[in-house]
Amino acid sequence: MSTVKLMPPFGVDIDLAEGVMADPDRHLVRKASAMLGHYQDADALARLIAAGDPLHYEVFEKNVPEERGQVMFCISKLEPGDVGGECFMTKGHYHTVRETAEVYLCLRGRGFMALKTADGQCLLEPMERNRLVYVPPLWAHRSINTGSEPLISFCAYPGDAGHNYGDIESEGFPKRVFTRNGKIAVV
Amino acid sequence: MSTVKLMPPFGVDIDLAEGVMADPDRHLVRKASAMLGHYQDADALARLIAAGDPLHYEVFEKNVPEERGQVMFCISKLEPGDVGGECFMTKGHYHTVRETAEVYLCLRGRGFMALKTADGQCLLEPMERNRLVYVPPLWAHRSINTGSEPLISFCAYPGDAGHNYGDIESEGFPKRVFTRNGKIAVV
């Protein structure tokens, strides 16, 4: 019945407080310069890049077969900060197989998960330690850090989901989150 | 292309330190009396049941469509204790769709994940806070608490995986974990 090859179990060490996976197979590092076009204030982003191009976020992953039945997982660590008042965020993505979900278990920090559908529905789910956000199939999603410490999540999604960043690069998200005088504003 | 219905995102509050999900749709509670046949020392289990039938473990779940592409998740909380020296454990299960994996992110406590295949391979993966165990497709799995506090894990697996407890009830696991004079013994 099964065509799946037997593979050995494995363990992965993850510092849950710091949001760091030991010995990841992939370590994605996105600095400000990787975020061109994503923030409203392009000049503020250019200044930030010129001033040292700080880290925005990291994603730590282990190799898992990209197949149905497997469960991909990662640690997402989004730094605090803003670009002209707009809170640091991830690029966001659809899954290549759009009919696949993802769970985000927030381990530290505070912010939002912005979610949108291809037909323009958009909403923000609060994220904070002790909260899980369920991203159903068909929803693009991006994390936004509104706090003063890293926003750290453990994420799990189907092995055959894949990532599609391109559609969000062109579509964008209709909602943006700013921090102004210590208050959060969604526009 | 898609036959998946659009469903709304949702959030779930989870006390990560206590291993308690707020407002679960299912709350599985297994006491000693639910564990008949699982421990080596049946008399010790009978005495434990007679002495108050203490809690062994809890599983907290939310409703997610049991479909391919969805991601089921739960909190597993296994109490510390022993039955005639054999460390408290969960029943263990295969997935109904055996070609499906599961991730266990350990949030608190210490123990093992016992894993076995239908053809008799068996091994123990250490579990402790800051460690994830990847249960690949085809492996039955059970948690074992060797510590003095609850063993708490966040688990995620494919929506169409299902649970098969029956085969493990009849097969058992070839390895057992005991605590003797403060030391852990695997037999």
- Rounded percentage of chain A residues whose pLDDT exceeds 90: 90
Q: In this structure, are residues A59 and A93 in contact, taking their beta carbons and an 8 Å threshold? A: no
Structure tokens at B83: 């039955």
Question: In chain B, positions 20-59, which contact chain A (CB-CB < 8 Å)?
Answer: none
| Percentage of chain B exceeding pLDDT 70 | 98
pTM (two decimals): 0.96
Q: How far apart are the first and last CA of chain B?
A: 52
Mean pLDDT of B131-135: 98
Asked whether the beta carbons of residue B14 and residue A105 sit closer than 8 angstroms, the reply is: yes
Percent of chain B predicted with pLDDT > 90: 90
Q: Quick count: other Cβ atoms within 10 Å of Cβ A136? A: 24
Instruction: From B107, B101, B91, B99, select the one nearest B71 (Cα to Cα).
Output: B101
- The DSSP code for A93 is B
Distance from the Cα of B71 to chain A's closest Cα (Å) equals 6
B13 touching A, CB under 8 A?
yes
As a whole number of angstroms, the distance between CA B126 and CA A65 comes to 22
- Give the DSSP H/E element, type plus range, for residue A185: strand A183-186
Give me the mean pLDDT over the B147-169 stretch.
Answer: 94
A18 at the B interface (CB within 8 A)? no
Phi, psi of B12 (to 5 degrees): -135, 130
Q: What is the Cα gyration radius of chain B?
A: 17
Contact call for A15 and B130, based on CB within 8 A? yes
Judged by a CB distance cut-off of 8 A, whether residue A111 touches chain B is: no
Mean pLDDT, residues A25-51: 97
User: Which stretch of A40-44, A45-49, A161-165 has the lowest confidence by average pLDDT?
Assistant: A161-165
Per-residue pLDDT band at A2 (split at 50, 70, 90): low
Kindly identify which residue of chain A lies nearest to residue B7, measuring between CA atoms: A136
The encoded tokens of residue B95 equal: 């997935």
Name every chain B residue with its beta carbon within 8 A of the beta carbon of A73. 103, 105, 132, 134, 156
Query: What is the per-residue pLDDT across B39-61, written as a single tens digit (0 to 9) for each?
Result: 999 999 999 999 999 999 999 99
CB-based contact, B123 to chain A, within 8 Å? yes
Q: What's the mean pLDDT in A85-94?
A: 96
- Determine whether the interchain pair B158/A158 forms a contact, defined as Cβ–Cβ distance below 8 Å: yes
pLDDT surpasses 50 at A133: yes
A123:B9 CB<8 A: yes
Sequence-ordered strand ranges (E) for A89-182: 102-108, 110-116, 122-128, 131-135, 140-145, 151-158, 177-180
Indicate whether this complex's ipTM tops 0.90. Answer: yes
* Residue owning tokens 């898609």: B2
pLDDT at A1 over 60: no
**pLDDT the model gives residue B5:** 85
Give residue B1's pLDDT: 45
Whether B176 shows a pLDDT value over 60: the answer reads: yes
Average pLDDT for residues A28-55, to the nearest whole number?
Answer: 97
List the single residue in A11, A131, A159 with the smallest CB-CB distance to B11.
A131
Which residue has better confidence, B5 or A173?
Answer: A173
| B1-7 long-range Cβ contacts below 8 angstroms, 24+ apart | B2/A98, B2/A99, B2/A137, B2/A138, B3/A99, B4/A99, B4/A137, B4/A138, B4/B67, B4/B69, B6/A117, B6/A136, B6/A138, B7/A136, B7/A137, B7/B65
Query: In chain B, whose CA is at the least distance from the CA of A121?
Result: B8
A2 contacts in B (CB within 8 Å)? 98-99, 137-138
Strand ranges inside chain B, DSSP E: 10-15, 20-21, 26-31, 55-61, 71-78, 82-83, 86-87, 102-108, 110-116, 122-128, 131-135, 140-145, 151-158, 177-180, 183-186
Which residue type occupies B37?
G
B45 CB neighbour count, 10 Å cutoff = 20
Q: Is the pLDDT of residue A74 over 60?
A: yes
Per-residue pLDDT reduced to its tens digit, B80-112: 999 999 999 999 999 999 999 999 999 999 999
Please tell me the predicted confidence (pLDDT) of residue A170.
86
The torsion angles phi and psi of B123, rounded to 5 degrees, stand at: -150, 165
Contacts of A158 in chain B (CB under 8 A): 68-69, 71, 158
What CA–CA distance (Å, rounded) separates A98 from A136? 10
Could you report how far apart the first and last alpha carbons of chain A are, in Å? 52
**What's the CA gap between B88 and A39, in Å, rounded?**
52
